[in-house]
């Protein structure tokens, strides 16, 4: 059965490696911080100027001066550091962050991503997304496979204004883990109980399906 957003976050968290600096976008990506595998240490960078982002504070201990990119109150871990926005994006653009996780409205088989604008309807702005996708060596997209109308978001070509071009390599959806290679999607894993047929039917882009598609292993 399809994963919920925590399931997606849990699967993505399996990609974390010890010693990595990681940037988590707003929405589903922030949940990845709740599922860090045992025995590994990662440090979370938040674009608004903190390295060593910690969990939400206890009630009554919220600090208005300490927030994350989604404007939520957070805490700082031991060894954390604060810096300004130019320094923050130097870390990002200068490829000092090993993994970026962000959401998407659409991804294309060329690796293009659209996640900031629906013309005439929703123009919230791109925030740090364009810097992140243009610079990151390792990007994982967390998204639902289809939109609320049931239309595929995994496409031949994006219809929405782009955030970045040819930059996505790995996607985790509520149904599957996909890789983007040589201008096509490749099915790597399916969510527990989800059939290959369902994934194929909900993928508008070209999808290469191996003979055996293993299920994701989530505790």
Contact residues toward another protein (CB under 8 A) are 46-50, 55-59, 61-68, 70-74, 76, 82-86, 88-89, 92-93, 112, 120, 122-131, 134-135, 161-166
Rounded Cα distance, 160 and 192, in Å = 31
SS3 152: strand
Rounded Cα distance, 205 and 159, in Å = 12
Rounded Cα distance, 46 and 74, in Å = 11
Radius of gyration of the chain (CA): 17
Choosing from 47, 106, 189, 204, which is the catalytic residue? 47
Rounded Cα distance, 20 and 51, in Å = 12
**Residue 210 CB, nearest approach to another protein (Å):** 30
For residues 138 and 198, which CB has a smaller minimum distance to another protein in the complex?
Answer: 138
Cβ(9)–Cβ(28) below 8 Å: yes
Count the Cβ atoms, other than its own, within 10 Å of residue 63.
11
For residues 132 and 187, which CB has a smaller minimum distance to another protein in the complex?
Answer: 132
**Residue 180 CB, nearest approach to another protein (Å):** 15
**Residue 154 CB, nearest approach to another protein (Å):** 19
For residues 73 and 138, which CB has a smaller minimum distance to another protein in the complex?
Answer: 73
For residues 61 and 215, which CB has a smaller minimum distance to another protein in the complex?
Answer: 61
Active site residue 47: yes
Q: Please identify which residue in the block is written with the tokens 């031949």.
A: 156
Residues identified as active-site: 47
């Amino acid at each position: 059965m399809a994963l919920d957003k925590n399931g997606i976050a849990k699967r993505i968290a399996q990609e974390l490696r010890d010693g990595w600096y990681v940037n988590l976008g707003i929405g589903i990506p922030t949940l990845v911080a709740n599922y860090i595998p045992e025995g590994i240490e990662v440090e979370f960078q938040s674009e608004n100027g903190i390295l060593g982002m910690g969990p939400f504070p206890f009630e009554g201990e919220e600090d208005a001066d300490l927030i994350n990119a989604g404007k939520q109150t957070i805490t700082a871990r031991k060894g954390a550091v604060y810096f300004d926005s130019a320094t923050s994006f130097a870390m990002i653009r200068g490829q000092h962050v090993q993994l970026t996780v962000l959401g998407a409205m659409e991804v294309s088989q060329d690796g293009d991503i659209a996640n900031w604008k629906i013309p005439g309807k929703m123009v919230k702005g791109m925030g740090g997304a364009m810097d992140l996708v243009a610079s990151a060596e390792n990007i994982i997209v967390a998204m639902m496979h289809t939109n609320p109308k049931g239309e595929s978001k995994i496409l031949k070509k994006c219809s929405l204004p782009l955030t970045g071009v040819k930059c996505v390599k790995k996607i985790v959806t509520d149904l599957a883990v996909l890789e983007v290679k040589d201008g096509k999607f490749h099915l790597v894993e399916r969510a527990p109980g989800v059939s290959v047929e369902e994934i194929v039917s909900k993928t508008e882009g070209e999808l290469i399906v191996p003979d055996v598609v293993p299920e994701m292993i989530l505790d």
